Amino acid sequence: MSEPTVLIAGAGLAGATVATELRERGFGGRILLLGAEEHHPYIRPPLSKEYLKGEGGIEDADVHPAGWYADNAVEFIPNVEAGSFEADAHELFVSDGGRITYDSLVLATGARARPLGVPGSGHGAVFPLRTREDAAWLRAALEVGGRRVVIVGSGWIGMEVAAAARGYGNDVTVIGHSAVPLSGAVGRELGGVFERLHRDNGVAFRNGAKVVGVDGGEEQHVVLASGERIPADVVVAGVGASPNSLVAERSGAAVAEGVLTDKGMRSSIDDVYAVGDVANPFLPAIGRHLRSEHWANAIASGKVAAHAILGERASYDDIPYFYSDQYDLGMEYSGYGPLTAGARVVFRGDVDSREFIAFWLRNDRVVAGMNVNVWDVQDDIQRLIRLGEHVDASRLADRDVDLATL
């Protein structure tokens, strides 16, 4: 009897984690790892953080050394994309015209950067930031210095790119559709903290603005609905990402804001799993599905899927987590974003000096927490979230009260 084959469609961090976890847990079958890019799996956060700021080389983002895959009998197949699968036959159709038989299929197809989608945005000086090539091109454009950089999008990617661009001495303008940067992620009050940080470092903002075009004439401009034309040597598109769920859609799997899975990362089709950015798993802790695009989710979901494939206990119990570094500000966030809408925010520390912890409370229970330039508190934040018990907001805000006692 032949050994089982696990076919992983997508060679990002999530797909690599599935392969790694399978081997570490003693799986002796065949593992195939298909990548749409030519590179071995790499981690995306450094692309907008350390690497973009000129700290280290692009190879520092690699998940494993190149030799790890052969050493661990993981067959890496580059430049091949999944097209669709036939569930009954257990076959995946791929972009080179071939088909691959599997026992277990893992969809790790990730997400794609959303285009600006306005006239002129296909111009060569408009940069997305999703791949290693994107990061290399953008870094080369920014490190020249003294350029006029316009960033469309005031989410995490946009703000991190703004900080990197200012670090090279560029003039930076951030255009966002919301009234306050990052308000969709952390709310207006916390978003204001980041806006003030960037303004203090020389970034200009156009909040509540809509881009209607990029004029690539003799001098490139970003055109706003108000009629304002902002000169731009470099335009960065940071307007979010969309899950690459087309393979699942074509093949009849349940899809809604990504591939729907149960708590074990199992899709609606037998022997087919989804992990990472493309997956929309059910989280028992909050009783609903929640898709996350952060690296911690790629690792957590990849491990859970591997456990499920092996027939082990598999339940996605990790609390969503991410981090960001901008100028001299470092932050970590843990929590369930959908539960923070309308939640009360309690601060512990000095917001004006940007050294504090913010807690989001619903019904006096902590549902999320963010530490800004305060360290070694994530374990306590996650413990409070997991407990789900009533907390005294005044004690939560009191720096003299040890978080471990709450």
Same fold, 5-112+242-309 and 126-237: yes
Statement: 328-405 belongs to CATH 3.30.390.30: yes
d(CA 271, CA 106): 8
pTM value surpassing 0.75? yes
Domain residue spans of the chain: 5-112+242-309, 126-237, 328-405
Q: Are 212 and 226 in contact (CB under 8 A)?
A: no
* Proportion of the chain above pLDDT 70, given as a percent: 99
What is the Cα Rg of the chain in Å?
22
How much is the pLDDT for 126? 86
What's the average model confidence in pLDDT over 229-248? 96
Q: How far apart are CA 300 and CA 52, in angstroms?
A: 26
In the block, residue with structure tokens 């052969």: 70
pLDDT digits (tens, 9 = 90+) for 290-334: 999 999 999 999 999 999 999 999 999 999 999 999 999 999 999
Rounded distance, CA 260 to CA 277, Å?
Answer: 12
Kindly state the percentage of the chain with pLDDT values over 90: 94
Superfamily name and number for 5-112+242-309: FAD/NAD(P)-binding domain (3.50.50.60)
Domain 126-237 is in which class?
A: alpha beta
Average pLDDT score over residue span 164-190: 96
Q: What is the pLDDT of residue 1?
A: 52
- Measure the CA–CA gap between 338 and 400, rounded to whole angstroms: 30
What pLDDT score was predicted for residue 218?
79
Q: How far apart are CA 298 and CA 277, in angstroms?
A: 7
Q: Read off the pLDDT of residues 109-139 as tens digits, 9 standing for 90 and up.
A: 999 999 998 999 886 678 999 999 999 999 9
